[in-house]
Amino acid sequence: MVGVELKKSHSGIISALAFIGMLFLGFSWVQSTQQAITGQQQLLLSSIVRTQSAILEGHLLSAFNSTQVLAYEIERNNGKTDWFEDYANALVNSLGDIKHLQLAPDGIITDVYPVGNEPILGLDILSTPKYIEEASLSVKNQKMFVVAPIELIQGGVAVICRVPVFLNKGAQEESFWGFVSAVVYLDNLLGATQLEALEKEGYQFSLTRQRTASQGTVILSSSALPIGDLYATADLMLPAGNFSLSISRQPSESFGTNRNVSFLLISCISLLLSFSLYAMLIQPLKLKKQVKEKTSELQDLCSTKYSLEFANA
């Protein structure tokens, strides 16, 4: 009996180890499947964010390029701007993304195209608090800068690209002329993308930029829900502004539920298989015990029968 009990304990240990092994393999399979699904979602998000950022890049580049063209013409004409309206008309009509263009000699806006944006005239870029920091840094570094998001005096929220213009650039008599600005409405910029449609489909997005002067992050636009844990980000390749677009998608409730159900099913199946294995392992022991008991009964019966025959002899 001691040997039989010992073998039973071995069967229990083997079954327990089998249960742990099946549980481990099952959980690993579920985990690897979840990781594969997550990887596919990450690839999808990366593809979407690249597509949407490329659209934003194209529309913003139109504004950036228009300021460069106007700045070049001012330098070429030695600061004269009598050609501005014709050039601005051609740029606005050909590019289409620009709401209006501005000229600001000595930092004060004196010309704007098209008409209807006159409320901005007379604004001093270098003394207005919301512009002065980045505008001064732009003049110092002779680099384009971006102001966004900004509420315009004439109404609306916009992205403004400004380029400092210098006459006799690179020469000893180099002098600061002023600024050329291009304005793009933020609603028009976002309307060119599918971000709104993506939000309706359950995606989240955030369009941000890094401030040049303060090194802070500014949110230009975002979805109602914040960016989730699984997201993809793309930096817009632009000459200024340091724009970034992030897109995420929250996993559906069934995603976590299915994982928990899978874990539960694997646990139940592993337990059933372990019990079945245990039953198979102890079956020979049961048979051996039954055979031993029957043999003992037969021996007792034979012994009793022999005793009776001997007594009757």
The mean per-residue pLDDT over the stretch 2-23 comes to: 67
For residue 174, pLDDT over 90 is answered with no
Cα gap 100→88, rounded to integer Å: 8
Close Cβ partners of 105 (under 8 Å, ≥ 6 residues apart): 79, 81, 177, 178
For residue 37, pLDDT over 80 is answered with no
Q: Are residues 186 and 69 in the same domain?
A: yes
DSSP labels, 74-101: HHHTTT--TTHHHHHHHHHHHH---SEE
The mean per-residue pLDDT over the stretch 56-62 comes to: 89
pLDDT band per the 50, 70, 90 thresholds, residue 2: very low
Q: Are residues 121 and 205 in the same domain?
A: no
The boundaries of the domain holding residue 64 are 59-190
pTM of the model: 0.69
Q: Are residues 105 and 176 in the same domain?
A: yes
Classify 186 as helix, strand or coil: helix
The mean per-residue pLDDT over the stretch 214-225 comes to: 84
Q: Are residues 141 and 207 in the same domain?
A: no
Q: Are residues 179 and 84 in the same domain?
A: yes
- pLDDT, one tens digit per residue, over 282-296 is 666 666 666 676 677
Q: Are residues 184 and 83 in the same domain?
A: yes
Cα gap 282→160, rounded to integer Å: 81
Per-residue confidence (pLDDT) for residue 308, from 0 to 100: 58
Per-residue confidence (pLDDT) for residue 4, from 0 to 100: 45
Cα gap 56→188, rounded to integer Å: 10
Average pLDDT score, the chain: 82
Per-residue confidence (pLDDT) for residue 38, from 0 to 100: 75
For residue 103, pLDDT over 50 is answered with yes
Classify 68 as helix, strand or coil: helix
- Domain contains 112: yes
